[in-house]
């Protein structure tokens, strides 16, 4: 029998935005469309995995984001000590996904080959592709490589029974999603393979984009990996906080259980 995991989204930051910020091709109505920032916790009987490490106060201030709590503070609310976490999946090296990796001194970081190559290679000469990265964080992750604290993956890989990584590409060259077995079936943490539900539902693409073709093909990959579209969790959609229940009344608005059936 495949182990089942509890899966949580922890909302650590937010920002205002408009629809034109989030879709190539814009939107004729251009209504407000705020964006939330999450890290995710996958908790099994024996092991726990943290997916992404968000950003901290300094980057939040510089980039004009509202930091609600650091990712480590969010994890502590779920009784997880960031300094003891052994496995951290980095879906990609953008500032809002790798920012506080130094708060995880015991962790191995699971990263796609293509992401490190992309973040340190020729395309980073261009503002169009480098604006989502913080060079000090990319260099910091290179230092982690030299300390043998990075596990590289190429395509799909099992981390443990019931949890696997899958390269999607598109938004960045080495973007990966995470597939997890839960009590309601296979859930896919899309991360930025679909920022909002609308991206995969309407086959539209986000504005920060390396490869449109891979992004659109990636939506079919998400659907293949998940038990249903209701099992796909987008990376930045405030609707995630409405569609899933909080783990406890105290965590209302802070965290939700993704292994629970959606509330709709
Ligand atoms: Zn992101």
Tell me the C-alpha distance between 227 and 232, whole Å: 8
Helix (H, G, I), strand (E, B) or coil at 92: coil
Q: How far is CA 41 from the centre of its chain?
A: 11
Distance between Cα 145 and ligand 1 center (Å): 22
Distance between Cα 185 and ligand 1 center (Å): 25
Distance between Cα 74 and ligand 1 center (Å): 17
pTM value surpassing 0.75:
yes
Distance between Cα 173 and ligand 1 center (Å): 14
pLDDT per residue as tens digits for the range 6-59: 999 999 999 999 888 888 888 878 898 899 999 999 999 989 999 999 999 999
Distance between Cα 208 and ligand 1 center (Å): 10
| CATH architecture for the domain at 6-257 | 4-Layer Sandwich (3.60)
- Burial label for 264, CB within 10 Å (0-12, 13-18, 19+), is exposed
- Checking if the pLDDT of 264 tops 80, the result is no
Distance between Cα 248 and ligand 1 center (Å): 26
Tell me the C-alpha distance between 231 and 57, whole Å: 32
Percent of the chain with pLDDT over 70: 100
| Main-chain phi, psi angles of 132, to 5 degrees | -85, -5
pLDDT per residue as tens digits for the range 172-181: 999 999 999 9
User: Where exactly are the structural domains of the chain?
Assistant: 6-257
Tell me the C-alpha distance between 177 and 169, whole Å: 9
Distance between Cα 78 and ligand 1 center (Å): 22
pLDDT per residue as tens digits for the range 76-103: 999 999 999 999 999 999 999 999 999 9
pLDDT per residue as tens digits for the range 134-176: 999 999 999 999 999 999 999 999 999 999 999 999 999 999 9
Distance between Cα 1 and ligand 1 center (Å): 34
Distance between Cα 193 and ligand 1 center (Å): 9
- Checking if the pLDDT of 210 tops 90, the result is yes
Distance between Cα 171 and ligand 1 center (Å): 9
* Residue 28: per-residue pLDDT: 79
Q: Identify the DSSP state of 124.
A: G
Going from the C-alpha of 167 to that of each of 50, 104, 130, 143, 158, the distances in angstroms are 17, 23, 20, 23, 12
Which residue is it, tokens 């309601």?
184
Any bridge partners for residue 150, and if so which?
Answer: 109
* Residue 35: per-residue pLDDT: 96
For 193-237, give the DSSP string. TSSSHHHHHHT---SS-S-HHHHHHHHHHHHHHSSSGGGEEESS-
Distance between Cα 159 and ligand 1 center (Å): 22
Distance between Cα 236 and ligand 1 center (Å): 7
First to last CA, the chain: 30
* Residue 110: per-residue pLDDT: 98
């Amino acid at each position: 029998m495949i182990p089942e995991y509890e899966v949580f989204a922890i909302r650590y930051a937010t920002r205002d935005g408009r629809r034109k910020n989030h879709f190539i091709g814009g939107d004729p109505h251009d209504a407000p469309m705020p964006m939330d920032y999450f890290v995710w916790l996958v908790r099994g009987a024996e092991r726990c995995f943290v997916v992404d490490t968000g950003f901290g106060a300094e980057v939040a201030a510089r980039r004009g984001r509202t930091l609600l709590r650091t990712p480590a503070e969010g994890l502590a609310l779920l009784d997880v000590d960031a300094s003891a976490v052994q496995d951290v999946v980095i879906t990609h090296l953008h500032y809002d996904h790798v920012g506080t990796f130094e708060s995880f001194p015991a962790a191995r970081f699971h990263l796609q080959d293509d992401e490190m190559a992309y973040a340190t290679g020729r395309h980073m000469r261009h503002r169009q592709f480098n604006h989502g990265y913080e060079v000090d964080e990319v260099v910091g992750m290179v230092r982690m490589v030299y300390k043998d604290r990075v596990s590289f993956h190429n395509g799909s890989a099992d981390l443990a029974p019931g949890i696997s990584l899958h390269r999607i590409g598109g938004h960045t060259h080495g973007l990966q999603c995470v597939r997890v077995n839960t009590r309601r079936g296979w859930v896919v943490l899309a991360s930025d393979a679909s920022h909002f539900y609308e991206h995969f539902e309407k086959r539209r693409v986000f504005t920060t984009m390396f490869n449109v073709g891979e992004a659109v093909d990636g939506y079919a990959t998400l659907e293949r990996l998940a038990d249903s579209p209701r099992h796909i969790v987008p990376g930045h959609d405030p609707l995630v906080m409405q569609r899933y229940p909080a783990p406890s009344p105290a965590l209302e608005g802070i965290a939700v259980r993704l292994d629970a059936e959606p509330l709709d």
